Amino acid sequence: MLYKNFLLFLLLVTSSLLTAQSIPSRTTFFAGQGPDTTYLLVDFKDSTFDASSIWGYAYQAPKTGLDLLEAVDSLDPNLAFSYDTASFGIFLQDVAYHRHLGEGGLPNFWATWDALQFDSLSSNMGLADTLLPGGLWGLSYTDFNPALPPDTPRAAINPRAYQASDISTWLGSGPDSALVVLDFKNGSDTVSYGWGYRFSDSVAVSTALNALESALSGLALSYSGGRLTQATYQGLSASAGSGQTWLSWQARNPGNWQPRSSRYLKAGQWQGFTFTDTAWQAMPEPRPGIPASAKSDLRMGDLPHRTAGSFYPVPASQQLHSRAPLKTVKLINAAGQVVKTGRSMPLSIEQLPAGLYWAEGVNQAGQRLRQPILIQR
């Protein structure tokens, strides 16, 4: 019995140590610079799977809890907080992160905590409290009956982990742009893909998807009634039905995906799709992951050889030439919009976004010529 009790004690101690050591290792988003590090925990206590999140803060000691919050807030547009000043000092009022909101007194208040290890968090003096280098500093939205410390957090997602500049395949044209992310969610880290689409003011989601399907090799999509129902790409295939479905998401960066469906894309918007169980509400939200592939995979096999066809060069970047005199010529983007016209060659294309286009011309004999053209930057 003594031996069994010792093993149980050893197991509990080991589990506690592993938990304490694993909390900082969850952190993927750091703010600040310096030789010292403190980890920020924020727990909204709202019974959602991502109620508690963690960030890292690098600095030169000494710094306070307010310094930490301001540093993280300045880098993460998904986090916001407010505080007031009273005779006893400064105190935290409201905190918002992603879709979570904890307003002071409506109905609870924010408690502040710190410790060198997660399993020994204790109340501190608030925003003015000095940070513990190598430790944790936490917030929890609680009714103080009793005050509950933050629970085990999940990593806050860096909103700059994936940006428009990471996209190498862009279609469409116009001053506005949006990102489309497709995530098959099959348990692998390499099943999320991202592409860009340019337009003016707004564009139907179906138009963007049709353009992607037409231009990308191996991509097949079915979109009906404002919902994605089937997708095939890179050897992966997933169809709605039999207890599984494609969910629609919208965001402005990788850290604030919301389950939301819309028929139109707006400037700066991210449109995501993930494949998951229809009963996903009973599991962690299957948000789109950071795209692992943004490579250019336009249908190069569909393009003519550089020395063939009526138009050249292929690919083109600055000017488009024709092998015979033309009366008129126009360029049409993947959305079917005429983006450039001319009555003489060569045709300047240096202002057009990279992507797949159709060149259409009428020669001196009145014959209509049509050829796909790839513009690269």
Share of the chain above pLDDT 90, in %: 39
Grade residue 309 by pLDDT with cuts at 50, 70 and 90.
Answer: low
- Claim to verify: residue 237 and residue 312 sit in the same structural domain: no
Count of alpha carbons within 13 angstroms of residue 283, beta-carbon side: 7
CA distance 282 to 279: 6
Of the candidates 140, 134, 73, the one whose C-alpha atom is nearest the C-alpha of residue 102 is 140
- Claim to verify: residue 117 and residue 173 sit in the same structural domain: no
Q: What is the pLDDT of residue 310?
A: 75
Say whether pLDDT at 329 is over 60. Answer: yes
Largest pairwise CA distance in the chain: 101
- Which CATH number goes with the domain that contains 319? 2.60.40
Q: What is the pLDDT of residue 165?
A: 75
Q: How many domains does the chain have?
A: 3
The pLDDT of 159-176, averaged and rounded, is 82
Pick from 223, 252, 282: which residue ends a domain? Answer: 282
Q: What is the pLDDT of residue 138?
A: 96
Say whether pLDDT at 292 is over 80. Answer: no
Beta-bridge partner residues of 317: none
Residue bearing the bigger pLDDT, 292 or 132: 132
Residue bearing the bigger pLDDT, 58 or 215: 58
Does 329 map to a domain?
Answer: yes
Q: Determine the structural domain holding residue 41 and report its residue range.
A: 2-155
Q: What is the pLDDT of residue 116?
A: 93
The pLDDT of 188-198, averaged and rounded, is 79
Say whether pLDDT at 300 is over 50. Answer: no
Say whether pLDDT at 302 is over 60. Answer: no
The pLDDT of 24-30, averaged and rounded, is 78
Does 235 map to a domain?
Answer: yes
Q: What is the pLDDT of residue 141?
A: 97
- Claim to verify: residue 312 and residue 265 sit in the same structural domain: no
Say whether pLDDT at 21 is over 60. Answer: no
- Claim to verify: residue 180 and residue 257 sit in the same structural domain: yes
CA distance 286 to 281: 9
Does 288 map to a domain?
Answer: no
Say whether pLDDT at 359 is over 90. Answer: no
- Claim to verify: residue 22 and residue 96 sit in the same structural domain: yes
Grade residue 15 by pLDDT with cuts at 50, 70 and 90.
Answer: very low
